[in-house]
Amino acid sequence: MTVCYPHLKAEDTPAFPGAEGFGRYTTGGRGGAVYHVTSLADDGSEGTFRWAINKGGRRTIVFDVSGTIRLTSALPLSSGNVTIAGQTAPGDGICIADYPFTINASNVIIRFMRFRLGNTYVAYHEGDGLGGMDQENVIVDHCSISWSIDECCSVYGMKNLTVQWCLIAQSLYDAGHSKGAHGYGGNWGGSGASYHHNLLCHHGSRTPRLGPRASTQTDERMDMRNNVIYNWSGNGCYGGEGMNVNIVNNYYKPGPATLQRPDYIQYRIAAPGIRTTSYVQSYPAFLPMLHVWGKYYVDGNHMNGHSDVTADNWTKGVYAQISNANNDNL
């Protein structure tokens, strides 16, 4: 008996079982070299995480050790076509701490990593827990990101992006940021960007900030679904200037910080905005989106404690959140 299998091209093969969303076909380091991390040091010597990150070509990074890698300086991922397989670490896994790790390359898979920035070296940076922008084909899966100075998870402005099954929590409220109290969740968006099955909790604002980049502003397509958002404060979720946004089947639970905010923020799903005249005068790269409202599909979201918003997401959860005074009275 002959068994025939359909021919699958690389672009039709998921990054791994369970990969979903726009970034699901990222190939990462598939078919390339394998580099073993054997040391928790950060001196760039062979066997360190920095050494493996700075290698070129297709590669998969695996871990023979567990524990905390305390970075001695910022670590940008500048060479793509890489899979960082945190699930290969023994024991309690791998944690990256003290300085920012940033995705500055395309075709990247990051799984089962912890990022705990902290404010030990706030005099030298005001970083995100995990950041990255203006790349393509990226998927972040089962990562835990917290204790940031700016935003916890600002991976956005990319083409074909997924952030899934991540814990994004406890940004530091007053950790020495030059603007004062900060502690934000993240900027989310992109030209085909999926954020699903994440827990976003305990942030001062931007939970998330629907943030189009200049590089993707004319083709912003973002899907945010099946997330849990708990204990938001500040402005909660807002923005979305000129974006196409799905907000579907998310679970919102106000917490102690939420209940100190005005009533309308306690049941906010999102507050849409536009690029105003004064904004584009300061940032002319965003002129193409001047006075362009985003397009939203909002359905199936549950607002704990507000059955009326659960039954009708749009009227109070979104439409009533628009402030004309902040949007050139349009």
pTM of the model: 0.95
- Please identify every residue annotated as catalytic: 206
Could you state, in order of their start, the residue ranges of all structural domains in the chain?
23-326
Ramachandran angles phi, psi of 60, nearest 5° = -120, 130
pLDDT band for position 126 (cuts 50, 70, 90): confident
For residues 240-250, average pLDDT: 98
Sheet of strand 153-156, all strands in order from the earlier edge strand to the far edge: 75-77, 101-103, 130-133, 153-156
For the chain, what is the mean pLDDT? 95
pLDDT for the residue 9: 62
pLDDT for the residue 327: 83
CA separation (Å) from 102 to 23, 24, 31, 72, 153? Answer: 17, 20, 24, 14, 10
CA separation (Å) from 255 to 202, 252, 267? Answer: 8, 10, 11
Q: Mapping DSSP to helix (H, G, I), strand (E, B) and coil, where does residue 229 land? A: strand
* HSE of 172, CA atoms in CB hemisphere, 13 A: 19
Which one-letter amino acid corresponds to residue 3?
V
pLDDT for the residue 181: 79
**pLDDT reading at 324 higher than 80:** no
For residues 88-93, average pLDDT: 98
pLDDT digits (tens, 9 = 90+) for 155-203: 999 999 999 999 999 999 888 788 887 889 999 999 999 999 999 999 9
* HSE of 149, CA atoms in CB hemisphere, 13 A: 21
pLDDT band for position 8 (cuts 50, 70, 90): low
pLDDT for the residue 103: 99
pLDDT digits (tens, 9 = 90+) for 298-315: 999 999 999 999 999 999
CATH of 23-326, picked from 3.40.1390.10, 2.160.20.10, 3.40.50.620, 2.40.50.140, is 2.160.20.10
Q: What span, in angstroms and rounded, lies between the C-alpha atoms of 171 and 147?
A: 5
**pLDDT reading at 120 higher than 60:** yes
For residues 53-65, average pLDDT: 98
pLDDT for the residue 177: 83
pLDDT for the residue 6: 53
Q: Mapping DSSP to helix (H, G, I), strand (E, B) and coil, where does residue 86 land? A: helix
Six-digit token string for 194 = 């999926």
**pLDDT reading at 4 higher than 90:** no
Number of H helices, E strands in the chain: 5, 27
Q: What span, in angstroms and rounded, lies between the C-alpha atoms of 63 and 111?
A: 12
Give residues with Cβ within 8 angstroms of 64, minimum separation 6: 36, 37, 38, 89, 90
Q: Which long-range contacts (CB under 8 A, 24 or more apart) does 36-39 make?
A: 36/62, 36/63, 36/64, 37/61, 37/62, 37/63, 37/64, 37/65, 37/94, 38/64, 38/65, 39/65
pLDDT for the residue 329: 82
Share of the chain above pLDDT 70, in %: 96
pLDDT band for position 328 (cuts 50, 70, 90): confident
**pLDDT reading at 75 higher than 70:** yes
Q: Which residue has the higher pLDDT, 274 or 179?
A: 274
pLDDT digits (tens, 9 = 90+) for 11-35: 689 999 999 999 999 999 999 999 9
Q: What span, in angstroms and rounded, lies between the C-alpha atoms of 303 and 251?
A: 6
